[in-house]
Chain A
């Protein structure tokens, strides 16, 4: 992939480039008696290099929105365009390939393969992509160093703290040089110190490497770090504030 051959993503243009374009997105669950409009008409653009938090009360649709954004779930209606790709037009096998190459994921838990070491977890996606060994190792070391885990490469997840595991997950999410990283409540299981540490690392990567982060959270301190805060309620955007 020609566009992915550089260690860092191209410097920010002044005319910021829109990488995600969401139009009239709906997701309705009707498997119970009442229809649930988990995402209820969302229009949203995300620009390259953003550091965006999605907040809102429990059940407001944050996870549902992020899942559709990541191509993990199909919208009921509406449209998601990532760069030039309409997600809705991809076949499921193409979607898997697209996710692998373009989107990094950090979940709240169960992020890592427990039988692989930190290093192997980060390398895993590059393995799936069939990247050469040299490239894999160099990138893995670089990323683990960036998330402050140099020296812990050979530890299995069970030997790492929750915060360290999430940092490995961030490194793993970046391994394939994605267009953006989606993180659904990445700090929900972390203490405040680890939370701050993880956020600092993410912010640093955002600044230094121009990685676009979109994360959901309940935590006010995490919200404070964000450069843009989108608030959801009942599946609708009720506010959208850019801070920096």
Chain B
């Protein structure tokens, strides 16, 4: 049996009008689909925004794009595993046109102590001007400043750490570490600035001092570095630049942020997966509601379907008519829901959604408490396809049910 839809075909029109024969019943299922798809789309854009912010925060304030180490350094953070001509290398790298900024660092595991208490931290000796080009940490200094006000041994620490150590701006802290010769040594630093990022864990475990101060304390000679941090102009050059640098500096370990923090690299995929699973679960449960509605429709219209078959409507056409009706029903709710979801997301794109009242612990894990939803076209397209697919799948069973009758029996049913 062949069937082609032509422009003056009545089947879609009949299907559409059939939806409104029982406005209450159709309205209920359409409302359910609307709410479900609103939730699906809104949570998708919310999730996307959240993940993007986490990524941004992770890359821009913490890892930057690419890091170069002595290949032995990351094994146990041994102070002696240095890049001997770190400064020269940094200078040379900054010539690369895809590279935006390069910052050489000394990085040492150490103890920081206030008058009250102490804790283990990673201390980083940086050149403030260069560091500004690779991480945005300086922008997060909310109290004091970034290596400006204090001239002798300034230190910039995280807000969380300041709370833990019960110290304020200008307070003195003592750094204790093992120097390059293996001797335990210590130095006093004064808090110059306090930074407040979205990641409390990071705030608590990382402190920054000037390169020359730390080099002196740790008996490292000027010009060496433990790590060279590289920031690119364009994130799209990440893989190619990583590979190129790896080739040029085969004696060193060149890693980009995806390799350094794989959990961040997967964040995007995990976020998408989560969203799709969520949407599919919503659609699955809505699908059962749709099937139920359409079964009621078929039961109610047995006689009418019998009449339609009698006057020459083939089974395929009856099937298609019910399928159209189901898809139109689903798409109506789906479209409204998706539109509302997108509308809400776009409306909140400016000011964000403030979660701080409900989710105090989020910042501990590097998630901002103000989320700015992000609308991704690809995701919306996938959701629309899933909605259409749901309509098609949900129509199969009820439409097949309608075909079980022969016209004589259908007309006879009471």
- Would you give 15 A-B contacts (Cβ < 8 Å), ordered by A? A93-B314, A96-B309, A96-B315, A97-B314, A99-B310, A100-B312, A105-B310, A107-B307, A110-B411, A113-B304, A114-B21, A115-B20, A115-B21, A124-B311, A176-B312
With an 8 Å Cβ cutoff, the count of chain A residues facing the other chain is 32
The one of B21, B303, B308, B407 in contact with A72, judged by C-beta atoms closer than 8 angstroms, is: B407
Q: How far is the CA of A130 from the CA of B17 in the complex (A)?
A: 21
Residues of A close to B14: CB separation below 8 A: 113, 115-116
Count, A-B residue pairs, CB within 8 A:
72
Most buried by A among B18, B304, B307, B312: B312
- A127:B9 contact, CB within 8 angstroms: yes
Residues of B close to A72: CB separation below 8 A: 310, 406-408, 411
The one of A96, A115, A123, A172 in contact with B17, judged by C-beta atoms closer than 8 angstroms, is: A115
The one of A105, A109, A127 in contact with B8, judged by C-beta atoms closer than 8 angstroms, is: A127
Minimum Cβ distance to chain B for residue A143 (Å): 14
CB of A133 closer than 8 Å to a CB of B: yes
Encode contact with A along B1-26: 1 for CB under 8 Å, 0 otherwise: 10000101110001001101100000
CB of A145 closer than 8 Å to a CB of B: no
Residues of B close to A96: CB separation below 8 A: 309, 312-315
Residues of B close to A111: CB separation below 8 A: 307
Residues of A close to B75: CB separation below 8 A: none
Q: How far is the CA of A173 from the CA of B21 in the complex (A)?
A: 24
Minimum Cβ distance to chain A for residue B320 (Å): 12
CB of A53 closer than 8 Å to a CB of B: no
- Give A107-147 interface residues, CB cut-off 8 Å to B: 107, 109-111, 113-116, 120, 123-125, 127-130, 133
- A128:B8 contact, CB within 8 angstroms: no
In the complex, which residue of chain B has the Cβ closest to the Cβ of A124? B10
Residues of B close to A113: CB separation below 8 A: 14, 304, 308
Minimum Cβ distance to chain A for residue B6 (Å): 7
Residues of B close to A120: CB separation below 8 A: 10
CB of B183 closer than 8 Å to a CB of A: no
CB of B404 closer than 8 Å to a CB of A: no
Q: How far is the CA of A176 from the CA of B311 in the complex (A)?
A: 10
Minimum Cβ distance to chain B for residue A135 (Å): 12
Q: How far is the CA of A125 from the CA of B10 in the complex (A)?
A: 10
- Give B62-79 interface residues, CB cut-off 8 Å to A: none
Q: How far is the CA of A123 from the CA of B306 in the complex (A)?
A: 18
In the complex, which residue of chain B has the Cβ closest to the Cβ of A93? B1
Residues of B close to A107: CB separation below 8 A: 307, 310, 411
CB of A70 closer than 8 Å to a CB of B: yes
Minimum Cβ distance to chain B for residue A131 (Å): 10
Residues of A close to B10: CB separation below 8 A: 116, 120, 123-124, 127
In the complex, which residue of chain B has the Cβ closest to the Cβ of A112? B307
Minimum Cβ distance to chain B for residue A36 (Å): 13
Residues of B close to A125: CB separation below 8 A: 311-312
CB of A191 closer than 8 Å to a CB of B: no
Q: How far is the CA of A177 from the CA of B195 in the complex (A)?
A: 87
In the complex, which residue of chain B has the Cβ closest to the Cβ of A110? B303
In the complex, which residue of chain A has the Cβ closest to the Cβ of B9? A127
CB of A86 closer than 8 Å to a CB of B: no
CB of B317 closer than 8 Å to a CB of A: yes
Minimum Cβ distance to chain A for residue B172 (Å): 84
The one of B1, B9, B312, B317 in contact with A99, judged by C-beta atoms closer than 8 angstroms, is: B312
CB of A197 closer than 8 Å to a CB of B: no
- A63:B8 contact, CB within 8 angstroms: no
In the complex, which residue of chain B has the Cβ closest to the Cβ of A73? B408
CB of A67 closer than 8 Å to a CB of B: yes
Residues of A close to B312: CB separation below 8 A: 96-97, 99-101, 125, 128-129, 176
Residues of A close to B17: CB separation below 8 A: 115-116
Residues of A close to B21: CB separation below 8 A: 114-115
Residues of A close to B306: CB separation below 8 A: 110
In the complex, which residue of chain A has the Cβ closest to the Cβ of B313? A128
Most buried by B among A73, A99, A128: A128
Q: How far is the CA of A72 from the CA of B307 in the complex (A)?
A: 10
Encode contact with A along B375-408: 1 for CB under 8 Å, 0 otherwise: 0000000000000000000000000000000111
- Give A56-105 interface residues, CB cut-off 8 Å to B: 63, 67, 70, 72-73, 93, 96-97, 99-101, 105
Encode contact with B along A33-65: 1 for CB under 8 Å, 0 otherwise: 000000000000000000000000000000100
Minimum Cβ distance to chain A for residue B410 (Å): 9
Further pairs besides A73-B406, A115-B17, A116-B17: 16, Cβ < 8 Å: A63-B412, A67-B411, A72-B407, A93-B314, A96-B312, A96-B315, A97-B312, A99-B312, A100-B312, A101-B312, A105-B311, A109-B303, A113-B14, A114-B304, A127-B9, A128-B312
Most buried by A among B17, B18, B411: B411
Residues of B close to A114: CB separation below 8 A: 21, 304
- Give B295-333 interface residues, CB cut-off 8 Å to A: 303-304, 306-315, 317
Q: How far is the CA of A111 from the CA of B310 in the complex (A)?
A: 10
